């Protein structure tokens, strides 16, 4: 049985706004890193978030905020969102998609199966 923290590992893909939201619990599962990689395996249709070294300038910087109610980290990437849409022809640009993840602690990663995405209203 999953505990509450691992049950909430999530990511949202907002196709309309070209935005990816990584839930705070996902970042917590990665050890609250300063930088993360977003990795895509197109053959297995898997998206992953992996912690990166703070010195790695190729990784996405996780900007922290003093707002304690901030539940997500957002980043915008038109090319990445377009590639995810191309991998998922049944997705539509008017929706957001929620993916639930599974932590892989020995890889400092959380993986998300795009086949299990849930459409969320416009």
* Burial (0-12, 13-18, 19+ Cβ within 10 Å), 20: buried
User: E strands along 17-108, which residues?
Assistant: 19-23, 35-41, 46-52, 60-61, 72-76, 96-104
**Residues 46-77: pLDDT tens digits?**
999 999 998 888 898 887 655 555 667 888 99
Q: Which residues of the chain have pLDDT under 70?
A: 1-7, 64-71, 122
Residue 73's pLDDT is what? 87
Q: How far apart are CA 6 and CA 90, in angstroms?
A: 28
Structure tokens at 74: 């957002």
Show Cβ contacts of residue 5 under 8 Å, excluding neighbours closer than 6 positions.
25, 28, 29
Residue 1's pLDDT is what? 37
Q: Are strands 10-14 and 46-52 parallel, antiparallel or unpaired?
A: unpaired
């Amino acid at each position: 049985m999953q505990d509450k923290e691992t049950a909430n590992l999530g990511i949202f893909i907002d196709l309309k706004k070209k935005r990816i939201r990584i839930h705070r619990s996902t970042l917590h599962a990665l050890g609250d890193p300063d930088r993360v990689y977003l990795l895509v395996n197109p053959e297995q249709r898997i998206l992953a978030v992996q912690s990166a070294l703070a010195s790695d300038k190729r990784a996405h910087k996780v900007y922290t905020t003093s707002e304690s109610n901030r539940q997500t980290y957002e980043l915008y990437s038109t090319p990445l969102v377009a590639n995810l849409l191309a991998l998922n022809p049944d997705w539509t640009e008017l929706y957001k998609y929620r993916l639930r993840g599974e932590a892989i602690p020995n890889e400092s990663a959380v993986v998300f199966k795009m086949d299990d995405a849930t459409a969320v209203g416009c």
